[in-house]
A and B are shown apart, each in its own frame.
Chain A
Amino acid sequence: MRNTWAIYRKELKSYFASPIAYLLMAAFALIFGYFFYAATAIFVTRGMESQMMGRGMPMDMNEWVIRPLLMNVSVIALFLIPMITMRLFAEEKRSGTIELLMTSPVRDVEIIAGKWLAAETLLASILGISALNLIFLFIHGQPDWRPILIGYLGLLLQGGALLAIGAFISTTTRNQIIAGGATFAACLLLWILDWVSSYETAAWAKVMTYLSVVTHFEPFSKGILDTKDVVFYLSVIFLGLFLTARSMESLRWRA
Chain B
Amino acid sequence: MIKVDGLTKRYARTVAVDDISFEVEKGRIVGFLGPNGAGKTTTMRVLTCFLPPTRGGVEVGGFDVLKQPLEVKRRIGYLPETPPLYPEMEVTEYLNFVASLKRIPKAETRQRVDQAIERCSLGEVRNLLQSKLSKGYRQRVGLAQAIIHNPDVLVLDEPTAGLDPKQILETRQLIKNLAGDHTIILSTHILPEVEQTCEQVIIINKGKLVAKDTVDNLTRRLRGSEAVAVEVEGRDGPLDAGEVRQRLEQVPGVSRVLAKAGGQNRCSFEVESLQGRSIRAEMARAVVEAGWNLTELRPVAFSLEEIFLQLTASEEPAAAGGEK
Q: Using a CB–CB distance below 8 Å, which chain A residues touch chain B?
A: 2-3, 5-7, 9-10, 13-14, 17-18, 95-107, 252-255
Contact = CB atoms under 8 A, between A and B. Distances in A.
B169 to A, nearest CB: 26
Contacts of B49: 102-103
**Interface secondary structure of B, over-half rule:** loop
A95 B73 CA distance: 21
Nearest to B96: A6
B74 A97 contact: no
B103 A13 contact: no
B121 to A, nearest CB: 21
Interface stretch (B27-35, B80-88, B262-270): B80-88
B51 A100 contact: no
Contacts of B93: 13
Contacts of A255: 11, 45, 51
A7 B86 CA distance: 12
Contacts of A18: 88
Contact of A6 (B76, B86, B89, B101): B101
Contact of A105 (B51, B73, B88, B145): B73
Contact of A100 (B45, B71, B101): B101
Contact of A101 (B51, B87, B88, B101): B101
Contacts of A98: 84
A107 B52 CA distance: 15
A96 B84 contact: yes
Given A18-B88, A95-B84, A97-B85, A103 B100 contact: no
B2 interface: no
A99 B88 contact: no
Given A100-B84, A105-B73, 13 more contacts: A3-B103, A7-B101, A95-B84, A96-B80, A96-B82, A97-B84, A97-B85, A99-B78, A100-B101, A105-B71, A252-B51, A255-B11, A255-B51
Interface residues of B, number: 31
Contacts of B51: 252, 255
Interface in B50-84: 50-52, 70-71, 73-74, 76, 78, 80-82, 84
Contacts of B179: none
B208 interface: no
B52 to A, nearest CB: 6
B102 interface: yes
Contacts of B85: 95, 97
B89 A103 contact: no
B86 A10 contact: yes
Nearest to A3: B101
Given A14-B86, A255-B51, A106 B101 contact: yes
Contacts of A253: 52
A100 B70 CA distance: 13
Contacts of B86: 10, 14, 95, 97
A96 B82 CA distance: 7
Nearest to A6: B100
Interface string B15-27: 0000000000000
B137 interface: no
B148 to A, nearest CB: 11
A100 B98 contact: yes
Nearest to A110: B101
A100 B142 CA distance: 10
Contacts of B71: 105
Nearest to A97: B84
B89 A104 contact: no
Contact of B76 (A5, A96, A97, A103): A103
A10 B98 CA distance: 10
A212 to B, nearest CB: 37
Interface in B125-172: 145
Nearest to A15: B88
Contacts of B12: 254
A104 B52 contact: no
A60 to B, nearest CB: 46
A13 B89 contact: yes
A13 B88 contact: yes
Interface in B276-313: none
19 contacts: A2-B103, A3-B100, A7-B101, A14-B86, A14-B89, A17-B88, A96-B80, A96-B81, A97-B85, A99-B48, A99-B50, A99-B84, A100-B78, A100-B101, A102-B50, A104-B98, A105-B70, A106-B73, A255-B11
A100 B50 CA distance: 9
Contacts of A252: 50-52
A122 to B, nearest CB: 15
A-B CB proximity, top 4 nearest: A100-B84, A6-B100, A104-B101, A17-B88
A89 to B, nearest CB: 14
Contacts of B78: 99-100, 103
Q: Residue among A3, A101, A252, A255 with the most chain B CB within 10 A?
A: A255
Nearest to A17: B88
Contact of A107 (B50, B70, B97): B70
A14 B129 CA distance: 12
B73 A103 contact: yes
B73 A10 contact: no
Contacts of B73: 103-106
